[in-house]
Amino acid sequence: MKKQSIAPKVEKFACGLCKLDISDVGEIVFIQSTGCFHQVHRHCFKSACFERQMKSRGMHCPDCDKEVQQYEIREYLSPEDI
């Protein structure tokens, strides 16, 4: 008889920015202000927000291209970054 695991199956997600698997739940950012809730790495999201702020461009979800609102960007950037 085959032994079944009782551990919950963890669904893997790929980061919409770097395309690598997100292995740690603590690393996930769910993009909320767009209503899409796509997932990206926290560090990738922060870097992308910073880069786009420096170039005065808006931040968009890498999966659906909906615009991320400023209040959500400010959650991941320090006041010095903005």
pLDDT tens-digit map of 37-60: 999 999 999 999 988 876 777 889
| pTM for this entry | 0.70
**Token pair recorded at residue 2:** 């085959």
- How far is Cα 39 from Cα 44, in angstroms, rounded to an integer? 11
Q: Which residues of the chain have pLDDT under 50?
A: 8
Gyration radius (Cα) of the chain, Å: 16
The residues spanned by each domain of the chain are 14-76
